[in-house]
Each structure stands twice: as structure tokens, then as C-alpha cells.
Structure 1
């Protein structure tokens, strides 16, 4: 059974068909996980002349690239060797559970932050659209009765005047 080793990222070739399956949101989640606990499952590559061809682990590879890493933990082998086979079954299950719990937590935190940002924006918009109350000692303004010249002293007087004169309030 081949053992994991540090592989130079710049020597790993990603086939076009694999590149088409890349999902940036998954790369972000894996990058956050790698920052928190490190790379848990090695990628799988096969030798091909002077380069290595990626067989398994595209998102892990892209996450390490995004983090500025120059090497990645990987296994040289063939398509028959699977990196999860390098770990015991219980360790694989536990690693998957931990990963899913971390990803779920990150997703919930992100959704909560988006909701609070949206709520704050909504509150700010509604406050800017509301009429501002008059300062004490000043009148609210003239009525719309064509220049009668009567000034109101309170909001309730102003509303009454607007109703009487047919204005908007």
C-alpha cells in the first residue's frame, strides 16, 4: 500500500473533464477546513512522464492552491487505489462526520450573517423613508391650503389640518 507524501502542486496536471466539475463554494469550504484542522485525506495522482495526473481530490487541490500552498499531501498510485482506503473504516467515517459538522456550522454562520445584514439594510431603508418629527419649539410647516399662513404647533394639529385641507400626510 503506497504511503502519503508531500507532492509539488505545480507538477500536478488536472484533466479537462475534472476541471469542469469544479465548484468554487466547495473549494471555499474545504479551504476553511484545511485552515482549521489541516488536510485529512490525501489526493490521488498517477505518474505520467514528467508530471503527475490528478485522479482524485480536485477540490482539495484547488483549496490548497487558494491558500498559497506549494505542496499537497497525496498518494502516487493508479485509479484502483483510493485515498480513503489508506485510513481505517472508522477513521474515515469519523473524519467525514467531523468535516460535515464543520461545513454545516460554516454554512449556518454564513446564512446568519447574510440575514442580519439584510435585516440591518431593511431597517436603515425604512428609517430613511419615515418622516422626521419636528423639533420642539418649531412648527412642522405650512398647510397646503394655498397660503393661509396658519402654522401648526403639534403633529396632531398638522394631521388635522392636512385632513381638512385635503393634503397628504
Structure 2
């Protein structure tokens, strides 16, 4: 099972593209600023190069973790990493099933499920302790659910 680094990079960049659209003032940007208690002064005083570089690094890490969620063959691949190594049975299995469920649609489905069951609980818990509103939780988790869907589609479907 080969790791497609181009798909990982494309998926990581998709997080920035979706964020650019999602947090645009004409979409959810103004509402997010209000709910996050963000001001123009805070926004202008930030080191945007550092923020975008770190966001890209985090997105690469997320894209790499989405491989095991969206590509079911990764489970079979992880089994051959033990003492026995890669046996002919693995090669036979992969020749039969290497491309099963390797579609953009399937990856998007699992990415969205991951967003709902992983990102939402994490963001929601943090927001509750930060005393943020339900609107804040919905805006931020909505972004990650959509983003993980797009990333999952790219990771799973790009071969």
C-alpha cells in the first residue's frame, strides 16, 4: 500500500481553501468573529504567515490520519507489519481488493462521519469550558465536518 503524498498535500491545502470560503465575512466570518469575541484589531495584529504555515502543518497531520479512516485497505496493511512481514496471502488480498471503496464519495462519507464523531466532540467540549455559544460550536464544527469530508474525498479517491 503506497502513501500518496500528493493527495495528502492537496487535502491539506483544501482545508485552507474551505476555511477561506467558510470564514469569509459574506459566509460565516462576521458571525464567527462575534461569537469568538474576535476584533479587527486582534486580526490585524497577528502573524498571518506563522498562522497559515502552522495551519498547513496541522492539516497535513490531519490528512495523514484520515488515511486510516477513509482507506479500509490501511487496516490490512497494518497487519503485515509484524514479524511475519508481507505474505503471499496479503498480495492476493490486495490484488482482489486494492481498489474496493476507493472513491471520492466513500472518502467524503467517512470524512464527514469523522468530523461529526471526532471534531465536533473535541471542539464542543473546549467551547463549553470556554463558555462559548452553541452558534460558535456549530460554526467551527461545521467547518471541520465539511473540511474533513473534502479531505477524506481527496485522500480516498485520489489514486
Higher share of residues assigned strand: 1
Check whether TM > 0.5.
Answer: no
TM-score (norm 2): 0.27
TM-score (norm 1): 0.25
Higher share of residues assigned helix: 2
